[in-house]
Structure 1
Amino acid sequence: MKNKTLILWVALATLCSGVHAESDIFKKWRKKKNKNKTEQTDSIKPKDKFDKAIDKATPYEGTIKTWITPKNELLFEIHKDNLDKLYLLANRVSSISESSNFTAGEMIGDPFMFRLSADTANVYMHTVQSFERVRSGDPIESSFKKNFSDPIMKTFKIKASRKDTLLIDMTSFFVSNEKCITPLQQSVRTRATKPASFDSSASMLLGVKGFEKNVEITSRLNYNSESGAYTVNMRRSIVELPKEPMKMRLQDNRVGFFSTFYYYYTSDKDKIPTKEFVHRWRVEPKEEDLEKYFNGELVEPKKQIVFYVDSAFPTKWRKAVKDGIEDWNKAFEAAGFKNVVVAKDYPTDDPTFDPDDIRYNCVRYMTNNVANAAGPSYIDPRSGEILVGEVMWYHNVISLVHNWRFAQTGAVDPRVRKLVFDDDVMSESLRYVASHEIGHTLGLEHNMGASYAFPVDSLRSPSFTQKYGTTPSIMDYARNNYVAQPGDLEKGVRMVPPLIGVYDKYAINWGYRVFKDTPTPESEYKYLNAMIEEKKDDPMYQFGAQQLFLTEDPTDQTEDLGNDHIKASNYGIKNLQYIIANVEEWLKKENTTYNDIHEMYMACVSQYMRYLTHVMPYLGGVEFTDLVQDGSQKYDTRYITKDKQKKAMVWLVDQALNCRKWLLPESIMRINGMESSAFDNFQYSIVGKILSPATMGMIYEGERSGQENIYTLDSYFNDVYQVIFANTINGKSLTQEDMNLQNAAVAALMKYSNLDPSMNKGLGGGAPGGLADPEAAWKDMVAKVTEQSNQFCNVTSCKHEHLNAETSYARHNMTPAKLSAGVGRPVITNTLKKVQNLYKSRLGSGDARTRAFYDYQVTIINMLYKK
């Protein structure tokens, strides 16, 4: 009982101190060891338990001293000063036998913070929580500490001790399937866990490296799975955190930085407030340069941010990657610093260099078939200080940027009408990839609203595009200039994004500017807010947080250009028509298959789908604004006006009816064997969006908002009727596309009228290919486009720590409003009756197939009313 009380006291005392107090437990060890000690007169002392444990073992000095014994056991020496420190443990794949789930170089999970405590029998590893914090000196502090202690995640039996030193065996922790650091956790790409059993016989410790502030441990872990053996070498890094955390910078929704929040307990507030701080590097002026810095001179930082470029990069791309890294120095100049970011090759003359050593920031070349690149960074959880950043450059990202460039600029730029780009052309795109990912490692989120700041026709201006590129922010997903038309390149129009955009310089200034006489994060607020206020009316400096899976704000999208999506898409479609008409001629190669031509054709189809999904969000759409109390009369949620929504509806229906004529010409059908119905689901997809419950719910919510020039539910359905059924209203014979479109609309109206509740299990009048639900067709299209977009830069570390950025907008509730059944079903049923009466009036008109279609639709609607 006495021993348990002592353990609890040690744990609580360590937690409550904030800085871990030195434990008296070492005195107890000394007393225990000296209790029965006798005078020794022999000149040679016999080996004690400690000496025996490390006999013939190899020592490694570091923030924690380690030993490797002749039996390949890993021992840690724990000194009393180790109990005063906080550590971060990171878990990285060093090499792997097959890369379906992971690639060598990837970090698995987020590094976690831990500390050590001890009693006379054991050393304990505690996870350290930073999600709940208390104001220092507050009367409630003692109670807080009793309720938020650090739990013990692992216990290690003391193998031997000597004075102030404890020896523990860490072999099983690092050479086993230890739950908290297992490589069988979810994959960052597939979200799938690889089922396997741990094979201890083939697993072993491979080595240790010790440094002043970190320890690097490498283990081989072997598994047996259904598909065979699975071997992975893991690098575990233990990093000593700074005793004094960096001063945090409080997050602001109006500037896009990754951030972490915590609950702040204080008796000064009538609630438990939250505080949120951004992720950023410790970029500070040297002491001798402070006066220069505050006088506006550019100064070098105390410590540069150095990125090492993998020696595996082909020479032809190396300069582009290094340029993309150092492009960010222009942004740091806005914050008063020069030469902050440095790009270097992997050193060949430094035997201590190791890219898996967590001290090094690396751009890693990962040779597998993944078409991706990503830029995670890892922080001190107490302050948001970025401790390490890295870029994961997967080999097949080359195909991604090639296909984007071909489909987006092939009509304008003859240099990209080939299967292998010239090095200078590819280097332009790869420089963008490198720079975008480095931006993430500096703490910047995606700014998906940036490109909406530019008027569409400005993207055809040589002077404008040479100055600004295609977007104000390289952190946007604005790719290449698909608005530019044939002849624009020769006039000087830029085809690619900027090196660093005006927003990026502004954001780095906001995140990294050092302010004089601001000892607390709160004291910086007036300066930071003034920077935002100065630019608040300029759309180039607005931030738009990322939306995924459910896009409600059309002004804040991925892969788009300009502030008029219909106009921009029309330019893009005109280019696609030219590319598809010429793709066979451009890429022909005698006596080879058509596979490459088909791939480039499908890249064009994917690009067209993006254009459709750029316009879809206008239907039932809203524009979000992150408001502060500044006296403005802006809306937090501004519903898209009626005229814009109707224009989008007309455009989408026109695309649904007419796209096949140019998207699938006979020449393409001839060489790739595609069926003429390949894109019939486009009609179902578009109706699925127009008549989805989400859209109808948002229309009604807009009606009830009281905002001006907004659709009412009745006027929306009247336009749906007029637009979708226009060719029947006008007495024209119907094409197959007309029939698909109207069939999908009738099926949706029947379902949502709820006249036959059983239809909610599926729609009557199924779509081609067995796809019975127009809403499902719409969601399938959006999912495919989203998946294509998220192949680029999609990693768990590019997130808020507390929010799943892959399923939430991070700033707004993305759940659409629900339409009241009492309001919606009568309006839907009334529209269905109008359609029924229209069909009845057209019975016997049109060609034979059109007459049969009308007869069929009248029949199934009549059957519905009879149920």
Structure 2
Amino acid sequence: MKKISLFLLLVCSFQIVKAQKPNDIESKTKGLSKYSGYFNFYWNEKTGQVLLEVDRLNDEFLYVNSLPAGVGSNDLGLDRGQIGDSRIVKFIRSGDKVLLIQPNYSYRAVSSNPDERKSVEEAFAQSVIWGFKVEAEDSGRVLIDITNFLLRDSHQIARKLGNSNQGNYHADDSRSAIYLPNTKSFPENTEFEAIITLAGTGIGSEIRSVTPDANYVTVRMHHSFIKLPDNNYKPRKFDPRSGYYDNEYMDYATPIDEPIVKRFIARHRLEKKDPNAAMSEPVKPIVYYLDRGAPEPVRSALMEGASWWNQAFEAAGYKNAFQVKLLPEDADPMDIRYNLIQWVHRSTRGWSYGESILDPRTGEIIKGQVSLGSLRVRQDFLIAEGLVQPYEDGKPVSDKMMKMALARLRQLAAHEVGHTLGLQHNFTASVNNRASVMDYPPPVFSLNTDGTIDLSNAYATGIGGWDKRAILFGYQDFPAGTNEDEALKNIMVETLKEGYLYISDDDARPAGSAHPQAHLWDAGTNAADELNRLMVIRKHVLDNFSEKAIRQDAPMATIEEVLVPMYLVQRYQVEAASKMLGGLYYTFAIKNDGQTVTRFVPPAEQWKAFNALMGTITPEALALPEKLIEKIPPRPIGYPRTRETFKSRTGLTFDPMSAAESAAGNTLEFMLQPERAARLVEYHARDEKQPGLEAVLNKLVAQTWKAPQLTGYKGELQRLVNDLALKQLLTLAATTSAPESVRGMALLQITELKKWMSKAVLTSGGEQKASLLFGLAQLNEFEKNPDKFKPAPVVNMPDGSPIGTDDFGCGM
């Protein structure tokens, strides 16, 4: 009897233990909220924990972190909707641990031989992103607690704020938590979001301007686990002339006689229902959804501009392949199936972005995401106010400003969507009849015979000719049996034959870049001609500028806000014209494609650019009408100076001399940029017909210091420019980054100028003598230690970029 009782006790105890199964997933998650989808996960309301069920160990997926609620400062670049890193990862188990590991897809062996693939995998490091403890398991599934993984500073905001001198921060667990409304699971992606607070000491002006308390910066960070696409996508070969972003890796299975680096373009998957047909519907269209938060008339303008891309797909033989719709009310923008155009707010105007989530294995774009800054349109409206000056007493306000601003929004939407289709900037399109929306366009306006400004052609309408050719290259679906490499080559040959050229960001943005047709926010077929045309219109606008540029109830001091973009309307065309000096035409030519690889800018064109640039710093160009200066009082209470207004060296009063200094300093800095100076020396050495640096400096000094001296306001402006020219010469001579030939030529010019000044001071008086004496004092200081000499900084211009209209890499 005792044996039977003992046996029953043991059986009951075993059943109790079996029923409890403390390591069983069902037991561990009992009472928790379950979210089913690509990955199932559980939410513990009491503890704030997220438990993830991993049912596919060793299976790869895409992990993306992003910033759904940002900081709100263009300068800091931490905006709502910003996509962070995209990486292929997988969960692997070792004992009681699960590791989230990132394989190294930069180095591969695309081979059917598993040993060959393994040899490459073991040759290069991988990365373990995080480690988790197994909380429970059942039938090949494991349960892990990913709460700490989600509550970290995944977007590296603390580091970015520290690097921008905003303060030292760290993620504060006590002020961070899971953000449940945006934590959910879909059939092809699982999404997690957290409220993250960065605690520290906020010292930077940018972070203080956009946070209630700069010591606690609270944002939201998002994590996406995304199912990788199937293997039916065919990567398309990259061509450096095509204008696409490239996706590259090294393939160690490549035969020795072939290139080991493989390059493919980034693009969406798009197929014709009938590849043999000249025009066919797609198997699945590319659909973009517009943020419902965009108000009218902005919403309609954005939808129309984004929809322009269907013109390009029609030219490639697709019917209704590209569509734009308003995001349905019940749709979730986090769902990977939705390409999104979102309307983003910041404290200041800033860049817009077109970003993509793509499959790193192939370059296939999985999701396009556009972020459009809401304040950009107001800058265009401001520019139009200055040009039209519409606020006349007793007269209705013109609608020209609104029309121009909305025209820009259409172009902006098309531009950023273009990035998410795989296209880079094309900064030579402006010289070819505005051939691409992927350029940065300035508003183009003209002067009517009656003295009014014509804005009817401010921005182009519709997709450009280059854009159509680019989409044809990237998205054409060829019939079975077609030699795709040969077909793509033929498309590119025809593109070149039609006169289209592509030049990239890297060739246009640097201040010392050389291509005379690659510029941001330039217009016209010739940069110097356009600069001259623009200066004529600018003079007319400034000569007639008045309080008609501001609203009836606006303080008179706010004339300055509208004046700034008018006074500096030439700033980007100056940069464009400067590239003609020491410029070099070139193409991204492929061997035997028939393109001219490089050629010098003709000397006559370079001197024309020099004269146009000098025309922007004459006293006549820099002077403001006296009647206008008299109408700009000091700033009233509530309307302080901002980054959008001129700096002042005269205290509270408006300072026209500082405005002139900022404009003239900009021109001279571009003209004597070290890389440009180095090319002037080199090209003249290779071809004596080319303008040399010595000739350029001689003319510069002749038209500044040695020119007949004026009196009064214009005389003061002339002396200002003289001082700036000397500063730039001294800077060039002291710049250790410049080659010694450049520094030597600058030193020669300085030495000759000192001799001239020493004689001129003996016969000069008043302001001219004072200017000469100060210049000689600067020269003496320079001679003491040239390598360490730093002249006083030039007054900076008010903020320009983005001009009411750019990436990092993809922005505009």
Once the two structures are superposed, residues 213-236 of structure 1 have per-residue CA deviations (whole angstroms, 9 ceiling, x without a partner) of 111223333443443444333332
Give structure 1 stretches of 5+ with no counterpart. 1-36, 455-470, 754-759, 761-774, 776-815
Aligned: 1:525 with 2:488? no
CA shift for structure 1 position 727: 1.5
Q: What is the CA–CA distance in structure 2 between the aligned matches of 1:366 and 1:518, rounded to whole Å?
A: 46
Cα 1:192–1:499, aligned 2, differ >3 Å: closer, same or farther? Answer: farther
Aligned: 1:370 with 2:348? yes
CA shift for structure 1 position 134: 1.9
Name 2:789's counterpart in structure 1: none
Name 1:573's counterpart in structure 2: 535
Q: What is the CA–CA distance in structure 2 between the aligned matches of 1:699 and 1:658, rounded to whole Å?
A: 27
Cα 1:38–1:125, aligned 2, differ >3 Å: closer, same or farther? Answer: farther
Q: What is the CA–CA distance in structure 1 between the aligned matches of 2:281 and 2:422, rounded to whole Å?
A: 20
Name 2:265's counterpart in structure 1: 278
Q: Give the counterpart letter for 2:60 in structure 1.
A: L
Tell which deviates more after alignment, 419-428 or 607-616: 419-428
CA shift for structure 1 position 339: 1.3
User: Match of 1:677, SS?
Assistant: helix
Aligned: 1:249 with 2:236? yes
**TM-score, with structure 1 as normaliser:** 0.75
Q: Give the counterpart letter for 2:457 in structure 1.
A: R
CA shift for structure 1 position 686: 3.8
Name 2:309's counterpart in structure 1: 328
1:400 paired residue among 358, 369, 379: 379
Q: Give the counterpart letter for 2:180 in structure 1.
A: L
8 A contact 2:162–2:169 mirrored in 1? no
CA shift for structure 1 position 269: 2.1
8 A contact 2:313–2:472 mirrored in 1? yes
8 A contact 1:256–1:447 mirrored in 2? yes
Q: What is the CA–CA distance in structure 2 between the aligned matches of 1:440 and 1:863, rounded to whole Å?
A: 50
2:494 paired residue among 534, 548, 555: 534
CA shift for structure 1 position 578: 2.8
Aligned: 1:126 with 2:101? yes
Q: What is the CA–CA distance in structure 1 between the aligned matches of 2:312 and 2:570, rounded to whole Å?
A: 34
Aligned: 1:83 with 2:26? no
Q: What is the CA–CA distance in structure 2 between the aligned matches of 1:184 and 1:856, rounded to whole Å?
A: 46
8 A contact 2:38–2:188 mirrored in 1? yes
CA shift for structure 1 position 599: 1.0
Name 2:798's counterpart in structure 1: none
Q: What is the CA–CA distance in structure 1 between the aligned matches of 2:525 and 2:401, rounded to whole Å?
A: 32
Percent identity of equivalent pairs: 21
CA shift for structure 1 position 833: 4.9
8 A contact 1:411–1:578 mirrored in 2? no
Tell which deviates more after alignment, 191-200 or 619-628: 191-200
8 A contact 1:117–1:125 mirrored in 2? yes
User: Match of 2:571, SS?
Assistant: helix
Q: What is the CA–CA distance in structure 2 between the aligned matches of 1:335 and 1:625, rounded to whole Å?
A: 25
> What are the residue-to-residue correspondences of 1:75-224 with 2, within 5 Å?
75-79=51-55, 82-95=56-69, 105-137=80-112, 140-148=116-124, 150-174=126-150, 176-177=151-152, 179-181=153-155, 184=158, 186=160, 195-200=169-174, 203-204=177-178, 206=180, 208-224=183-199
Name 1:11's counterpart in structure 2: none
User: Match of 2:654, SS?
Assistant: coil
Q: What is the CA–CA distance in structure 1 between the aligned matches of 2:438 and 2:762, rounded to whole Å?
A: 58
Q: What is the CA–CA distance in structure 1 between the aligned matches of 2:299 and 2:145, rounded to whole Å?
A: 44
8 A contact 1:562–1:568 mirrored in 2? yes
Aligned: 1:427 with 2:406? yes
2:415 paired residue among 416, 436, 439: 436
Q: Give the counterpart letter for 1:357 in structure 2.
A: D
2:520 paired residue among 514, 538, 558: 558
CA shift for structure 1 position 448: 1.0
Q: What is the CA–CA distance in structure 2 between the aligned matches of 1:716 and 1:417, rounded to whole Å?
A: 51
Cα 1:406–1:538, aligned 2, differ >3 Å: closer, same or farther? Answer: farther
Q: What is the CA–CA distance in structure 2 between the aligned matches of 1:623 and 1:450, rounded to whole Å?
A: 15
Aligned: 1:668 with 2:629? yes
Name 2:210's counterpart in structure 1: none
Once the two structures are superposed, residues 759-784 of structure 1 have per-residue CA deviations (whole angstroms, 9 ceiling, x without a partner) of x4xxxxxxxxxxxxxx9xxxxxxxxx
Q: What is the CA–CA distance in structure 2 between the aligned matches of 1:428 and 1:210, rounded to whole Å?
A: 39
Aligned: 1:341 with 2:322? yes
Cα 1:235–1:750, aligned 2, differ >3 Å: closer, same or farther? Answer: closer
Aligned: 1:627 with 2:609? no
User: Match of 1:269, SS?
Assistant: coil
CA shift for structure 1 position 248: 1.4
User: Match of 2:184, SS?
Assistant: strand
Cα 1:260–1:487, aligned 2, differ >3 Å: closer, same or farther? Answer: farther
User: Match of 2:684, SS?
Assistant: helix
CA shift for structure 1 position 116: 1.4
Once the two structures are superposed, residues 114-143 of structure 1 have per-residue CA deviations (whole angstroms, 9 ceiling, x without a partner) of 111123422221112221122414785442
Once the two structures are superposed, residues 402-445 of structure 1 have per-residue CA deviations (whole angstroms, 9 ceiling, x without a partner) of 234445x648999x996986755543222122111111111111
8 A contact 2:414–2:437 mirrored in 1? yes
Once the two structures are superposed, residues 41-63 of structure 1 have per-residue CA deviations (whole angstroms, 9 ceiling, x without a partner) of 97996131213202122322212
Cα 1:740–1:164, aligned 2, differ >3 Å: closer, same or farther? Answer: same
Q: What is the CA–CA distance in structure 2 between the aligned matches of 1:258 and 1:193, rounded to whole Å?
A: 35
**TM-score, with structure 2 as normaliser:** 0.80
User: Match of 1:644, SS?
Assistant: helix
Name 1:47's counterpart in structure 2: 20
Q: Give the counterpart letter for 2:603 in structure 1.
A: K
Aligned: 1:651 with 2:612? yes
Aligned residues: 733
Q: What is the CA–CA distance in structure 2 between the aligned matches of 1:681 and 1:149, rounded to whole Å?
A: 50
Once the two structures are superposed, residues 616-669 of structure 1 have per-residue CA deviations (whole angstroms, 9 ceiling, x without a partner) of 222233233212111647234x33332222222233223212345554544135
Q: Give the counterpart letter for 1:532 in structure 2.
A: M
Tell which deviates more after alignment, 443-452 or 420-429: 420-429
User: Match of 1:656, SS?
Assistant: coil
CA shift for structure 1 position 479: 2.7
Cα 1:195–1:113, aligned 2, differ >3 Å: closer, same or farther? Answer: same
User: Match of 1:399, SS?
Assistant: helix
Cα 1:588–1:239, aligned 2, differ >3 Å: closer, same or farther? Answer: closer
Once the two structures are superposed, residues 517-563 of structure 1 have per-residue CA deviations (whole angstroms, 9 ceiling, x without a partner) of 469xxx52221121111131443454444522423323100110112
CA shift for structure 1 position 304: 2.0
CA shift for structure 1 position 70: 5.2
Once the two structures are superposed, residues 243-287 of structure 1 have per-residue CA deviations (whole angstroms, 9 ceiling, x without a partner) of 4162211221212112222222246226973222211110112xx
8 A contact 1:308–1:360 mirrored in 2? yes
Q: Give the counterpart letter for 2:485 in structure 1.
A: Y
Q: What is the CA–CA distance in structure 2 between the aligned matches of 1:98 and 1:733, rounded to whole Å?
A: 42
Give structure 2 stretches of 5+ with no counterpart. 1-9, 202-213, 634-652, 786-812
Cα RMSD for the two superposed structures: 4.0
CA shift for structure 1 position 473: 0.6
Tell which deviates more after alignment, 180-189 or 255-264: 180-189
> What are the residue-to-residue correspondences of 1:444-843 with 2, within 5 Å?
444-454=423-433, 471-483=434-446, 485=448, 494-517=457-480, 524-546=484-506, 547-550=508-511, 551-590=513-552, 592-630=554-592, 632=594, 634-636=596-598, 638-660=599-621, 662-663=623-624, 665-672=626-633, 673-678=653-658, 679-704=660-685, 706-707=686-687, 709-728=689-708, 735-746=715-726, 760=734, 818-819=738-739, 821=740, 823-824=741-742, 827-836=745-754, 838-839=756-757, 842=760
CA shift for structure 1 position 333: 0.8
Name 1:65's counterpart in structure 2: 40
Q: Give the counterpart letter for 2:717 in structure 1.
A: E
User: Match of 1:440, SS?
Assistant: helix
User: Match of 1:233, SS?
Assistant: strand
User: Match of 2:618, SS?
Assistant: helix
CA shift for structure 1 position 696: 2.4
Cα 1:48–1:695, aligned 2, differ >3 Å: closer, same or farther? Answer: same
8 A contact 1:406–1:417 mirrored in 2? no
CA shift for structure 1 position 859: 8.0
